[in-house]
Amino acid sequence: MTRGLHEPFATLPRQREAATFGIWIFLATEMIFFGGLFLGYAVYRHEYPAGFAAAGARTDIVIGTANTMLLLTSSATMAAAVWSGRAGLRGNTLLALVLTALLGTGFLVLKAVEYRNDIDEGLVPGSPAFPLSEPGAELFFGYYWAMTGLHTVHLVIGVGALGLTAWRLWRGRLAWRGTGFLHVLGLYWHFVDVIWIFLFPLLYLMGR
């Protein structure tokens, strides 16, 4: 009996391949899921370039850049966790997982600060204090909130999954060896990072 082997698979490598294939298909669906929002952004940017430039200049580039760096770093630690797991280094894996979760939490904290500042500045569509009058500026912030909001939800799920995984690993309740579980978790985490890699220039760097 091999630990972590599930019905209906006969061998672990086969199961690992299936899990990897499955999560990649899921990530493909996520691309289209985010794709709809990116399309909305692109269409309106095409229609209102000036409004989008003016609105893009109002986002917080310091927090945005810092957050991008946090996520890139967390991707590196996540990769380290997956590789450590594959090498059978339990302590290393645990350390890397916790680091990743902390970096993700850091992102969320900074994002919360940024959101609060945005609300204070009235950078919310429909807000009476909305500071910009260019056509399309409100649409930019509509998409800013929708895209970063959806990304944040994904990140919260990711941090939760990381925490749970670290806890189960620590308690010895996780069949982590050879099952590819860490790899699957890692793929999700990296994907959320890749989405941000494209959100960052579109939302923070336009109109600088």
Partner 1 sequence: MQRDQDDGRGLWLKAGAVWIALGVVLAATVAGAYLAPGPLRLPLALGLGAVKAALVVVVFMELFDSRASTRIAPLVGALFVALLFALSFADEATRQEMPRSFAAPPERAVQDR
Partner 2 sequence: MTLEAEAGRGRPGQTLPRSYLGAGHSVRSWLLTTDHKRIALLYLGTITVFFLIGGSAATLMRLELVTPPGELVSADTYNRLFTLHGVIMVWFFLVPAVPATLGNFVLPLAIGARDVAFPRLNLLSWYLTIAGGVLVLASLLLGGVDTGWTFYTPYSSLYSNSYVTLAAMGVFVNGFGSIATGINFLVTIHTQRTRGLTWMRLPLFVWSLYAVSIVMVLATPALAVALLMVVVERLFDLGLFDPARGGDPILFQHIFWFYSHPAVYIMILPGFGVISEVLTCFARRRIFGYEAMVFAMLAIAIFGFFVWGHHMFVSGQSYYANLIFSFLSFAIAVPSAIKVFNWSGTLYGGHITFEASMLYALGFIGLFTLGGLTGLFVASVPIDVHVTDTYFIVAHFHYIMVGGMVTAFFAGLHFWWPKITGRLYSESFARLAALLMFVGFNFTFFPQFILGWMGMPRRYWSYPDDFQVLNVASSLGAVILAAAYLLPPVYLGLSLWRGKPAGDNPWDATGLEWTTSSPPPRENFAVLPVVDTEPYAYHADRVEPHRRGDASHRAVSQSSDPGDDA
| Complex with partner 1: residue 46 or 120, whichever CB lies closer | 46
Query: Residue 191 binds which entry of partner 2, partner 1, none, with Cβ cut-offs from 5 to 8 Å by kind?
Result: partner 1
Q: Is 25 in the site for partner 1 (CB under 8 A)?
A: yes
| Listed ranges 56-64, 79-87, 101-109, 143-151: which one lies at the site for partner 2 (CB under 8 A) | 143-151
Q: At what angle do helices 12-47 and 49-56 cross, to 10 degrees?
A: 110
Q: Is 20 in the site for partner 1 (CB under 8 A)?
A: yes
Taking the complex as a whole, the smallest distance from the CB of residue 40 to partner 1 amounts, in Å, to: 10
DSSP result, the chain? --TT--TT-SSHHHHHHHHHHHHHHHHHHHHHHHHHHHHHHHHHHHH-HHHHHHHHTTS-HHHHHHHHHHHHHHHHHHHHHHHHHHHT-HHHHHHHHHHHHHHHHHHHHHHHHHHHHHHHTT-STT-TT----STTHHHHHHHHHHHHHHHHHHHHHHHHHHHHHHHHHHTT----SSS-HHHHHHHHHHHHHHHHHHHHIIIIITT-
Among 6, 11, 36, 153, binds partner 1 (CB under 8 A): 36
Q: Is 191 in the site for partner 2 (CB under 8 A)?
A: no
| Complex with partner 2: residue 59 or 77, whichever CB lies closer | 59
Q: Is 29 in the site for partner 1 (CB under 8 A)?
A: yes
Q: Is 102 in the site for partner 2 (CB under 8 A)?
A: no
Query: Residue 37 binds which entry of partner 1, partner 2, none, with Cβ cut-offs from 5 to 8 Å by kind?
Result: partner 2
CB 107 within 8 Å of CB 71: yes
Distance, in Å, from the CA atom of 171 to the CA atom of 173, rounded to the nearest integer, reads 6
Total interface residues for partner 2 by CB under 8 A = 44
Q: Is 128 in the site for partner 1 (CB under 8 A)?
A: no
Q: How many CB atoms lie within 10 A of CB 66?
A: 15
Query: Residue 181 binds which entry of partner 2, partner 1, none, with Cβ cut-offs from 5 to 8 Å by kind?
Result: none
Residues 4-23 that bind partner 2 (CB under 8 A): 5-10, 14, 17-18, 21-22
Q: Which residues bind partner 2 (CB under 8 A)?
A: 1-2, 5-10, 14, 17-18, 21-22, 25-26, 28-37, 39-40, 43-44, 47-48, 51, 125-126, 135-136, 138-139, 142-143, 145-146, 149-150
